[in-house]
């Protein structure tokens, strides 16, 4: 029943939002009611998964420990984004940048985006998962081009074309995995467990080719380099709450798809194959952003390249296996929290300064004190400074790889230092510098745009200090699935 509520709530919110003709406050109420319901449903699912190992609804919907982790990130970021969006859009309307029709369009697409991500995680069908992830592309393309500026339109088209091509490759890989079903009927391979159970009879060469297509295809959506080129443009042009959801939720859902197929691949052939591929793409995804971050001139693109780096860190963790998989899953949660804080803070800065260029933003700590403190803290968190949780997860991941991949771990440590140095340079300039600049307009930050990032930061810090035992249990079970233990 909880799974039905999870899918039905955003659908009802979409239909209700379409019926609103002129009252923006009703759209806000719908969003601020739907998001908590979805979050409570996910918490209920997590409780059930903790006690029963999985939560099923009929023959087509189910959540195991891996799905529960991803659902948690989607629901939590979605909850914060729903409230933050309300304050963010109110300020945009006040400045006469957008009108009611744009606000309604935003919330309809917002709910559609959430529903597609939820369904991608809970469906048992690989084909339906692909359709759902493709639906996220269509809904978010219109959100990226929300302001109808030439640069935003270009970013939306780039996002649409690159991700559609990537997902077509992923779909081809999916069909290759389903090929062994040809003699027995496709219905036999309707769910993931049947694919895993049938993996032993699959042609090893076909499995290797299929996984490459899946990794490149869905890896495009994950933002793994060198398929990452859409991500900085899309994240920098979308409204800030959508940027938070793209980085904090959507990338996790796409990585979830890769991990599902990794489990099938590891059941068919030795796991070294999938692990080495993940290590390779993980390394490239850390290497490229590390150097681009140093010379970045746009703070939203800065945060976007940070997302690519962190997806690379997660890919490394899953590639190393063992403790690395546990660390990567925990890293997924921490990254979702910290990156949403960064993008919400970026939204506050944009509302005040009217620019995303680093050179045009100075003295945030004095202009927006609360946002300045949150931004500095989130910077320390996202770059893995102790005692924040990301420092712990990175140590888990690097420790897991040190025995067999010492050279990789050494290079990664150097790259992480480069990332910190580049980030530090930009954050100091944005937050502490007090160069002469034009007088800034009043407004730009209210309680609805300050409280959500503050609460997310508090949750992040608290989770780094104390992780509830049920969450640890679910993470351990999910890591065991990915590592092929008890699968």
**CA–CA separation, 442 vs 435, rounded Å?**
19
Indicate the range of 74-83, 183-192, 382-391 predicted with least confidence.
Answer: 183-192
**What pTM was estimated for this model as a whole?**
0.94
Give the DSSP letter of residue 57: E
132 Cβ neighbours under 8 A, 6+ residues apart: 116, 117, 119, 120, 123
Chain segment 352-389, per-residue pLDDT in tens = 898 899 988 988 998 899 999 999 999 999 999 988 99
**CA–CA separation, 229 vs 272, rounded Å?**
28
Percent above pLDDT 90 for the chain:
76
Could you give the C-alpha distances from 227 to 126, 203, 346, in angstroms and in order? 22, 28, 25
Chain segment 187-232, per-residue pLDDT in tens = 444 678 888 888 888 889 999 999 999 999 999 999 999 998 899 9
Could you give the C-alpha distances from 139 to 105, 218, 226, 331, in angstroms and in order? 10, 17, 24, 27
**CA–CA separation, 400 vs 320, rounded Å?**
6
Output the average pLDDT for the chain. 91
Confidence of residue 446 (pLDDT cuts 50, 70, 90): confident
Chain segment 261-284, per-residue pLDDT in tens = 999 999 999 999 999 999 999 999
Residue 206 near residue 176 (C-beta atoms within 8 A)? yes
What 3-state DSSP class applies to 145? Answer: coil
Confidence of residue 1 (pLDDT cuts 50, 70, 90): confident
∠ Cα 255 261 265 (to 5°)? 135
**CA–CA separation, 67 vs 316, rounded Å?**
20
Q: What HEC string does 218-235 produce?
A: HHHHHCCCCCCCHHHHHH
422 Cβ neighbours under 8 A, 6+ residues apart: 290, 293, 294, 295, 296
Percent above pLDDT 70 for the chain:
95
């Amino acid at each position: 029943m909880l799974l039905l509520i999870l899918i039905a709530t955003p659908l009802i919110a979409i239909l209700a939002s379409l019926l609103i003709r002129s009252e923006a406050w009703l759209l806000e109420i719908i969003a601020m009611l739907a998001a908590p319901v979805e979050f409570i449903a996910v918490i209920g699912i997590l409780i059930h998964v903790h006690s029963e190992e999985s939560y099923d609804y009929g023959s087509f919907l189910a959540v195991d420990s891996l799905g529960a982790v991803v659902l948690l990130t989607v629901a939590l970021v979605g909850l914060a984004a729903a409230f933050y969006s309300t304050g963010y859009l109110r300020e945009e309307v006040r400045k006469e940048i957008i009108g009611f029709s744009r606000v309604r369009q935003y919330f309809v697409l917002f709910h559609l985006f959430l529903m597609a991500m939820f369904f991608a995680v809970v469906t048992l069908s690989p084909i339906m998962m692909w359709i759902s992830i493709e639906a996220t592309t269509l809904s978010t393309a219109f959100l990226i081009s929300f302001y109808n500026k030439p640069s935003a339109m270009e970013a939306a088209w780039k996002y649409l074309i690159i991700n559609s091509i990537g997902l077509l490759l992923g779909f081809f890989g999916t069909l290759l995995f389903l090929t062994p079903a040809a003699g027995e009927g496709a219905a036999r391979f309707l769910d993931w467990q049947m694919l895993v159970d049938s993996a032993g009879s699959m042609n090893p060469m076909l499995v290797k080719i299929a996984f490459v297509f899946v990794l490149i295809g869905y890896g495009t959506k994950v933002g793994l380099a060198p398929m990452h080129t859409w991500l900085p443009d899309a994240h920098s042009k979308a409204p800030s709450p959508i940027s938070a959801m793209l980085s904090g939720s959507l990338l996790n859902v796409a990585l979830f798809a890769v991990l599902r197929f990794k489990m099938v691949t590891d059941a068919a052939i030795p796991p070294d194959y999938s692990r080495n591929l993940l290590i390779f793409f993980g390394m490239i995804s850390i290497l490229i952003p590390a150097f681009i971050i140093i010379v970045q001139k746009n703070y939203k693109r800065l945060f976007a390249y940070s997302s690519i780096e962190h997806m690379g860190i997660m890919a490394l963790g899953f590639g190393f296996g063992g403790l690395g998989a546990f660390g990567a899953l925990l890293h997924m949660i921490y990254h979702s929290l910290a990156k949403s804080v960064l993008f919400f803070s970026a939204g506050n800065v944009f509302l005040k300064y009217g620019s995303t260029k680093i050179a045009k933003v100075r003295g945030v700590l004095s202009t927006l004190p609360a946002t300045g403190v949150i931004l500095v803290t989130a910077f320390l968190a996202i770059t893995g400074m102790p005692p924040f949780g990301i420092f712990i997860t990175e140590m888990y991941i690097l420790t897991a790889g040190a025995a067999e991949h010492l050279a990789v771990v050494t290079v990664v440590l150097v790259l992480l230092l480069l990332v910190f140095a580049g980030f530090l340079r930009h954050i100091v300039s944005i937050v502490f510098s007090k160069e002469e600049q034009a007088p800034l307009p009043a407004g730009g930050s209210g309680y609805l745009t300050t409280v959500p990032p503050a609460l997310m930061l508090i949750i992040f810090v608290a989770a780094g200090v104390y992780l509830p035992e049920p969450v640890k249990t679910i993470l351990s079970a999910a890591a065991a699935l990915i590592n092929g233990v008890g699968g």
